[in-house]
Amino acid sequence: MSKNNLETIRMELTPLFDYINKYTDLTLEEQSILSARFKIRKYLKGQFVVQNGDTCKYENFVLSGCLKTFYIDNEGLEHIVMFAVENWWTADMGSFITQTPADFNVQCIENSYLAQIHYEDLEQLYLQVPKLERFFRIIIQKAFVSSQKRIINNFSLPAKERYLQFREQYPQIEQRVPQYMVASYLGITKEFLSKIRNQLLLE
Amino acid sequence: MSKNNLETIRMELTPLFDYINKYTDLTLEEQSILSARFKIRKYLKGQFVVQNGDTCKYENFVLSGCLKTFYIDNEGLEHIVMFAVENWWTADMGSFITQTPADFNVQCIENSYLAQIHYEDLEQLYLQVPKLERFFRIIIQKAFVSSQKRIINNFSLPAKERYLQFREQYPQIEQRVPQYMVASYLGITKEFLSKIRNQLLLE
């Protein structure tokens, strides 16, 4: 890669470095090592970053845009597991870490710019920049904690409370995605979501 | 700690080292460093390792025994998030990583021997034995993937299928815990679980 190209990518990766530096301190040299391995890719609204059945080869950091991770059940129903916007990571983690076919789909709800790291490049990066082990250890712990809370909320909270928690966890997303996707994330019907929203307006 | 004590602890920690060495290679010196920081503690059946409202100070590796992690909702209902047996880790991860009060309870279903590492000791261990970053990064990724699958299963699989998956994930646990705990883990009533089991016996 030419020096100019590397400089451009490095500039475009600024949000990624800012994000990583919240947890650790990348030197300029380490930023260059990352810049040489991350790729930036634009996806159009509707395009798939991961498709069920394919192996998920990239871990993706969202530079801009909005995506959903979902699962299609045996009856053909879509269940949204998570959304991702700026400064979130998205992938089918199970597929990525085992390099086996994905259960989930990751699709763009808006045109999206992603910083992508290939599985093998990330394995190399862990060796070249060991502080990335710490960084990913910490952010995955946080993701695990959210995921555990979601299991509990699904069991124990009424839909209205789950909706309020959703708004807290994803403050900007409700304006960016269709209502039926919010309903799918909450595991309720669009009609029921609409009823909850009307109730809240009256409170 | 005397040399003899350290040797004893080191021997008792053998299952922990064997487990860690599936993912990385601890030198004998590193095993000594771990032995000096891990503590072994016996809990009786019914005792709590973590109580809701307290800060979870230890990450716990199960040397022997069986524990449940659960949440009590506003109606006083118990929801089991996970079980842990030999070679599993258990804690309220959210409380542990932020050192704030726990949402969950971790209680012994059997008398249990745990290898415990205090939050601050673990932070020191990450610095002294950096390969533990990698180890924990990998096992937490796996825990996150299971957790994501559980969210999807709860949304999309009928209770019978969830029960079959439970038996696959926790092969020995069904014989070790009361049926109402299995029902709580699955989010169904004890009566419904009993109906499913009878159906399966007839198949």
Q: What is the pLDDT of residues B155-203, one digit of tens each?
A: 788 899 999 999 988 888 888 999 999 999 998 999 999 999 999 988 8
Q: Where does the pLDDT of residue A1 fall: very low under 50, low under 70, confident under 90, or very high at 90 and above?
A: low
Encoding tokens for residue B42? Answer: 């016996």
Most A CBs within 10 A among B56, B144, B165, B185, hence the mutation to make, goes to: B144
ipTM of the shown complex: 0.88
Residue A84: its chain B contacts at CB < 8 A?
none
Inter-CA distances, A17 with A25, A29, A61, A63, A121, Å = 9, 12, 11, 11, 17
- Using the Cβ of B100 and the Cβ atoms of chain A, whether some distance falls under 8 Å is answered with no
Q: Which of residues 57-86 of A touch B (CB under 8 A)?
A: 71, 73-74, 77, 79, 81
Residue B100: its chain A contacts at CB < 8 A?
none
Q: What is the pLDDT of residues A2-46, one digit of tens each?
A: 777 888 888 999 999 999 999 999 999 999 999 999 999 999 999
- For chain B, the straight-line distance linking the first and the last C-alpha, in angstroms and rounded, comes to 58
Residue B93: its chain A contacts at CB < 8 A?
141, 144-145, 148
Q: What is the pLDDT of residues B10-43, one digit of tens each?
A: 899 999 999 999 999 999 999 999 999 999 999 9
Rounded to 5 degrees, what angle do the CA atoms A36, A38, A41 make?
125
Residues B50, B99: contact at Cβ < 8 Å?
no
- Residue A50, burial from CB neighbour count under 10 angstroms (0-12, 13-18, 19+): buried
- pTM listed for this prediction: 0.90
